[in-house]
Structure 1
Amino acid sequence: MSTAPSPPPAVTEQQPHRVLVVGSGFGALFATQKLDAPEVQVTMVARTTHHLFQPLLYQVATGILSEGVIAPATRDVLARQTNARVLLGEVREIDLAARTVTADSVGQVNTFTYDSLIVAAGANQSWFGNDHFAEFAPGMKTIDDALELRGRIYGAFEMAEMAAAGGHTDRIPRLMTFVVVGAGPTGVEMAGQLIEMSRRTLAKEFRHIDPSEARIILLDAADEVLGSFGEDLATRTRRDLERLGIEVRLGAMVVDVDADGLVVRTRGGESERIEAATKVWAAGVQANPLTKTLSAQTGAPLDRAGRIRPNPDMTLPGHPEVFVVGDMVGMEDLPGVAQGAIQTGRHAADQILRRLRGQETGQPFEYHDKGSMATISRFRAVMKRGRIELTGVPAWLAWLAVHIFYIIGFKTQVTTLMHWAVSFVGRDRAERTVTEQQVLARLALEYLGEDFLRGSLRTPAEIRAQTEQPEKDA
């Protein structure tokens, strides 16, 4: 089936086929695991040393789970796969003609060669062209994001308590107002946990404020909550959210954000300012910028979110040795969820193995929809798979089972179940340690800029040379 030019070199006994995998998310990890074969040598290069179970980031942000539970070390996950190695590095450049990938690893630049390449670098948060919103409304795509939000959320209650104790009651409404932007699964789950936390976990812990009076607002420019779930489930979800006490505002576009609040504009053109100390941005994604360089070299088109459209078999035009998978891919009927990344990653790995074993290749990727689900709060969830729709406790139990299944490692699965039992059956949340550094580190690094980052990575020899140079000049 495949007629693309310049196939990768055939495997020999002396030299295994070198596969380079960019990323450590679902697509990269499942592709690497499927490539566990003697004729293949796999190198995974990623900007983090962990595999992140991103769907549960909001539980780290709200104190249910620790970051280690949802982000096991990639080396640990792949420790028994002897044909795979893991290297830290953020890929900056891909040269398809030379078959090289250049990565920056803590100030050290490394170049890797490959016979086959799988690019699974994922997606970043998008503020729809207003990146300055991120200063006051962090996204939720990384462990750093979740820890910063945890500090902001719990810190807001602490600040409100201090304000009340000092008689500054005028500050309390702003501190106890939490706005979640984006009414997709992540936004709904985040808003649900914020209301649960304020009504149950913190209800009896303060002396000068009543946490149950916290105001939780869920905003979206769309007309429905969970629009991709269908009208019936969207209506039920909105009803459940409002019954919990969450203010749901649809058709409301955020046009400005600052430290003290945000401004929204309705479809009718009316503007309203909402005073809120804590804002969570859960709307929109943008594909990793590597799609631009791949598009420039292959002619593969990009969509509005920067996702690249590959050939039907997930390869790039003119380069049968290069595959793109996961959230970087813009194809019809391929949602940006974990299952999409898992299935595209496995398909790419299968195509490589088939080619090496002399089997027919070029089979188009087919996505098998295993359903969509989202939790609303304790014992409330929605699930849709084909014509099957579940709500309430059955959907919540299904959500628990699916997420436990995809968490990596038996020990981690047991730990997660224990944390869920404490949080959902009881009232406590075990992961509530916050520090000022968690809240301020991201902004501090941005303010200090690239010069500081480069300087902090200098070797002792470079520091001595830079110190001695002014003395010689004098």
Structure 2
Amino acid sequence: MTDSIPAPPAATDRSCPDSAPRVVIVGAGFAGLAAAKALAGSALRVTVIDHNNYHLFAPLLYQVATAALSPADIAEPVRHILAGHPNVEVILGTVEGIDTTARRVRLRDGENVGYDRLLLATGSTSTYFGHDDWAPHAPALKSIEEAREIRTRVLSAFERAERARDPAERERLMTVVVVGGGPTGVEMAGSIAELARHALARDFRHIDPTRARVILVEAGPRLLAAFPDDLAAYAGRSLERLGVDIRLGQAVESIDEGGITLAGRRIPAATVVWGAGVTASPAAAWLGLATDRSGRIPVEADLSVTGFPDVYALGDTALCRDAEGRPLPGLAQVAQQQGTHLGRALRDTLTRGTPLPPFRFRNRGNAAIVGRHAAVFDFGPGRRLRGFSAWLLWAAVHVVLLVDFAQRARVSLQWLWRYLTYRRGARLITVPPPRR
């Protein structure tokens, strides 16, 4: 099969001939990167396409948004990660369509990349449930740019409050509303509360940051709906001890530059953070497929897209079910396991002709951190942790999952320094603050 992307110079092509099967991976998130690593060193040509040049450790984005870490602590260039694997190439580009008949991926710049097998691991984006006009006033947390914007909004609001003379305006500037009671919302609310009550407490002269209001809004009846009741209740109590005002059973009616309206009540707020929902990327539209409500593509047991045996979907892009028929959650561990499984399976299939085995998810625990010394860990029926032990385990797991040793060392040292001093060293306003 002839590709429209020219072959690299012979001096750099040290692994596979042009006749070797080509596996194209769209997306360098947890699933795509895991698949690429599993295919590395094989007799296959592997191409990774992503619109970013870095792999992002998304579970720690909230720490960038709350000045605990810098973007470089949780992102690593994809080329650097895969540099030691000659059979893997990386293309920085944005996919706009797929021709499954010709087996080509179309990029925005007009180039086409041919494939023998195509892996779609394009992740997810935020959804405002039909209220896209809320997005400018309530940034979500799916990218480094959004995390930096949230950090700027929070820190800039305190700076403006320091100069405000009107008590009502000062209170508005020191009010943060987090929408969504899932892990993202819980972690954001707890981290913002700790930022105000500890890291900023002694830095201002005319305001008292410890009196900042942090409000966590959830339309459902409780926080952390995917966790057992006792862990969700513990998370709620821990947030309340940090001073977080939890509003359950209250749906958002409107968000604008001045604040938010909940159940008919107006709450003036300078900062609103959206963590209430995600939807899959537009990969399904490229294939002309119907999806579930979250935009995910139905897949078979071997992760192939139904009706397209040479195309596979992984991670947040895929509607994959467990042995009981329940959809697997959009978690990093699901994506990583799928990527590793499919990469190894395709390696055997394309080089030895073995059939693709079905994917089986092994739950290694679902976690959420609430604050200092407080976290919840759910390993399945009858196996759960909470409190200090869960907090230590959460920290250890996240450090291990970082892709680079230097990142692990930096994050570990920064967490230790933050633990001992309550300080946060990434309190930089690096983008223009909104006019609010």
Cα deviation, residue 440, structure 1: 5.4
The counterpart of 1:427, out of the listed 422, 425, 428, is: 422
What residue is the counterpart of 2:329 in the other structure? 335
Alignment of 1:293-304 (within 5 A): 293-294=286-287, 296=288, 301-304=290-293
For residues 188 and 204 of structure 1, the distance between their equivalents in structure 2, rounded to whole angstroms, comes to 25
Conservation of the 8 A alpha-carbon contact between 1:118 and 1:348:
no
For residues 177 and 132 of structure 1, the distance between their equivalents in structure 2, rounded to whole angstroms, comes to 21
Q: Is 2:202 the partner of 1:232?
A: no
Single out whichever of 360-369 and 319-328 deviates more from structure 2.
Answer: 360-369
Q: 3-state SS of the aligned residue for 1:320? A: strand
Cα deviation, residue 109, structure 1: 2.6
For residues 424 and 18 of structure 2, the distance between their equivalents in structure 1, rounded to whole angstroms, comes to 54
Alignment of 1:351-366 (within 5 A): 351-366=345-360
Q: Is 2:366 the partner of 1:372?
A: yes
Q: Compare the two structures and name the one with the higher helix fraction.
A: 1
What residue is the counterpart of 1:324 in the other structure? 313
Cα deviation, residue 61, structure 1: 0.6
What residue is the counterpart of 2:116 in the other structure? 115
Conservation of the 8 A alpha-carbon contact between 1:200 and 1:427:
yes
Structure 2, gaps ≥5 residues long? 1-15, 321-325
Cα deviation, residue 425, structure 1: 2.2
Alignment of 1:341-420 (within 5 A): 341-386=335-380, 387-420=382-415
Conservation of the 8 A alpha-carbon contact between 2:104 and 2:113:
yes
Report Cα offsets for 1:38-73 as digits up to 9, x if no partner.
311111110100000000000001111110110111
For residues 424 and 254 of structure 1, the distance between their equivalents in structure 2, rounded to whole angstroms, comes to 35
Which residue identity lines up with residue 318 of structure 2 in the other structure? V
Which residue identity lines up with residue 420 of structure 2 in the other structure? V
Q: 1:37 to 1:216 in 2, by over 3 A?
A: same
Cα deviation, residue 335, structure 1: 1.0
Q: 3-state SS of the aligned residue for 1:212? A: helix
Larger radius of gyration: 1
Cα deviation, residue 280, structure 1: 0.3
Structure 1, gaps ≥5 residues long? 1-11, 266-270, 442-474
The counterpart of 1:85, out of the listed 65, 83, 89, is: 89
Cα root mean square deviation, aligned: 1.7
Conservation of the 8 A alpha-carbon contact between 1:27 and 1:342:
yes
For residues 357 and 153 of structure 2, the distance between their equivalents in structure 1, rounded to whole angstroms, comes to 48
Q: Is 2:108 the partner of 1:131?
A: no
Q: Is 2:187 the partner of 1:186?
A: no
What residue is the counterpart of 1:50 in the other structure? 54
- Count of residue pairs the alignment pairs up: 416
Cα deviation, residue 333, structure 1: 4.1
Q: Is 2:273 the partner of 1:280?
A: yes
Report Cα offsets for 1:143-174 as digits up to 9, x if no partner.
000000010010010010011xxx32231110
What residue is the counterpart of 1:290 in the other structure? 283
For residues 295 and 346 of structure 2, the distance between their equivalents in structure 1, rounded to whole angstroms, comes to 26
Q: 3-state SS of the aligned residue for 2:56? A: coil
Cα deviation, residue 95, structure 1: 1.0
Report Cα offsets for 1:301-334 as digits up to 9, x if no partner.
4100111111111112343221110001123341
Identity of aligned pairs, percent?
40
Conservation of the 8 A alpha-carbon contact between 2:346 and 2:356:
no
Q: 3-state SS of the aligned residue for 2:400? A: helix
Q: 3-state SS of the aligned residue for 1:357? A: helix
Cα deviation, residue 79, structure 1: 1.0
Alignment of 1:31-46 (within 5 A): 31-46=35-50
Single out whichever of 230-239 and 24-33 deviates more from structure 2.
Answer: 230-239
What residue is the counterpart of 2:12 in the other structure? none
TM-score (norm 2): 0.92
Which residue identity lines up with residue 378 of structure 1 in the other structure? R
For residues 246 and 236 of structure 1, the distance between their equivalents in structure 2, rounded to whole angstroms, comes to 14
TM-score (norm 1): 0.85
Conservation of the 8 A alpha-carbon contact between 2:302 and 2:357:
yes
Cα deviation, residue 388, structure 1: 1.2
Conservation of the 8 A alpha-carbon contact between 1:333 and 1:367:
no
Conservation of the 8 A alpha-carbon contact between 1:74 and 1:86:
yes
Which residue identity lines up with residue 295 of structure 2 in the other structure? G
Which residue identity lines up with residue 21 of structure 2 in the other structure? H
Conservation of the 8 A alpha-carbon contact between 1:292 and 1:306:
no
What residue is the counterpart of 1:449 in the other structure? none
Alignment of 1:61-100 (within 5 A): 61-100=65-104
Cα deviation, residue 359, structure 1: 4.0
Q: 3-state SS of the aligned residue for 2:76? A: coil
Conservation of the 8 A alpha-carbon contact between 1:19 and 1:41:
yes
Q: 1:247 to 1:433 in 2, by over 3 A?
A: same
Report Cα offsets for 1:76-132 as digits up to 9, x if no partner.
11111111111111111011111011112xxx3321111111110000011111111
Conservation of the 8 A alpha-carbon contact between 1:44 and 1:85:
yes
Alignment of 1:8-47 (within 5 A): 15-47=19-51
Q: 1:202 to 1:363 in 2, by over 3 A?
A: same
